[in-house]
Amino acid sequence: MRVAIVTETYSPEINGVALTVAGLAHGLAQAGHVVQLIRPRQEADNAHAPAEPDIETQLVRGMRLPRYPGLQLGLPAGKRLRAMWRDVRPDAIYVATEGPLGWSALRIARALGIPASSGFHTRFDDFAAHYGFAALTPFVFAYLRRFHRLATATFVPTVELEDFLAASGFGNVVRLPRAVDTHLFDPSRRDEDLHASWCAGAGPAVIYVGRIAAEKNLPLAVRSFRALQRLHPDARYIWVGDGPARAALAAQNPDFIFAGVQRGESLARHFASADLFVFPSLTETFGNVTLEALASGVPTVAFDYGAAREYLGDSCGRRVAFARDDAMDAAGAFVAAVCDLAGDADALAAKRAAARQAVAMLDQRAVIADFAHALAALGAPDRGQQEPPFRSEHDETRLDTIADRDAPLLRSAP
């Protein structure tokens, strides 16, 4: 099968969407499928061609995302996509991001009658409030709904999100579970020397892994650690990652240990060498880092949604209930959970094996096989796929004009 993947973020950029899409692309290629990857040009591409010989990479124009350094939007590329896909037609298309590039990809796919799916990876409606645009939240959600209804199917990682989007009018929502590399993320990678470099005393070593950004609920992470530190002065907080909030966070908390961006075996070693993973974010659609922590044998405290709801039980951490209209009580419960769990060294040790066991069944090859099967099924006759709305050469030219003229993020949705 020939699969085209369209994304506005991709490895080596550090975020859950980039890493998930890279895993899907390489997994499909390793399974024998032909993968065409369409993404914006990154800084590293200016000096070197993409070093992925098993993937056909097409670079398009992009622009930096305002107020979110390190991420960018792909600009509309309707004309190029139409020419590319008419020349070599993919069997299926997967659009991973909802920016202008993704919008034009879905439009062109419909024009050419190619089955196209989308992935719901990011709650951009929640992000708006964290960057000073709370009033736009309902409009952003309406845009997301309009975008995903252009696709034949929208893939989501959890039952919770599947039910929510289906009830919100998103159309054909399909659950596709996530995997975690249990060979890379493994308790055996624990490095006692690294742990000792963090904690002069007994610890515990609390770890954060991810983008250091406003939408990650960082004040609650800090509050939780400070409460724990009052009980256990030897506790240390290790931050792995980077982002727009790092400089301010470091200035306000000079005792925090910032390890920077870590990848591959080094990231796995940092995870496994920690004693507790604290993840207070409320803007995830899933939270891949939760699976990585559990696979590494690290007990976890997280809110009761996304990956935590699916895989985090009392045997391997704490899942904290929350209500969006009662955030203060939820925050207090989160702090209490961190202090209670991290304060009991015996409990932490007992939960390490259970954490690993909670995600041991999430085999990457099985998830890739399910993904390929779902893509192949998109074009099956019994799906009753809608006829392409533009059939003639004149109409396809009209479609290119629509896709390239307007940035869809500025459009209002019905």
Domain layout of the chain by residue ranges: 2-179+363-410, 187-359
50-64, 183-197, 360-374, 383-397: which range is least confident on average?
A: 383-397
- Cα torsion at 394, 399, 401, 407 (round to 10°)? 180
Percent residues over pLDDT 90 in the chain: 57
pLDDT exceeds cutoff 80 at 391: no
Q: Give the CATH H-level superfamily of domain 2-179+363-410.
A: Glycogen Phosphorylase B; (3.40.50.2000)
Residue 22: predicted pLDDT? 92
Calpha distance 206→338 (Å, rounded): 10
Distances (CA, A) of 186 to 251, 265, 271: 33, 10, 9
Residue 130: predicted pLDDT? 52
Q: By C-alpha distance, which of 201, 202, 278, 265 is closest to 238? A: 278
| Residue 232 vs residue 44, higher pLDDT | 232
Say if 2-179+363-410 and 187-359 have the same CATH topology: yes
**Mean pLDDT along residues 139-148:** 88
Condensed to tens digits (0 to 9), the pLDDT of residues 161-177 reads 899 899 999 989 999 98
First to last CA, the chain: 36
Identify the DSSP state of 76. Answer: P
Condensed to tens digits (0 to 9), the pLDDT of residues 210-252 reads 989 888 999 999 999 999 999 999 999 999 999 899 999 999 9
Total residue length of the chain: 414
The architecture of the domain spanning 187-359 is 3-Layer(aba) Sandwich (3.40)
Contacts of residue 175, Cβ cutoff 8 Å, sequence gap at least 6: 155, 156, 157, 158, 159, 161, 162
Calpha distance 14→32 (Å, rounded): 27
Condensed to tens digits (0 to 9), the pLDDT of residues 358-375 reads 998 888 888 899 999 999
Identify the DSSP state of 294. Answer: H
| Residue 9 vs residue 5, higher pLDDT | 5
Q: How far is CA 189 from the centre of its chain?
A: 24
Phi-psi region at 57: left, alpha or beta (left = phi > 0; alpha = psi -120 to 50)? beta
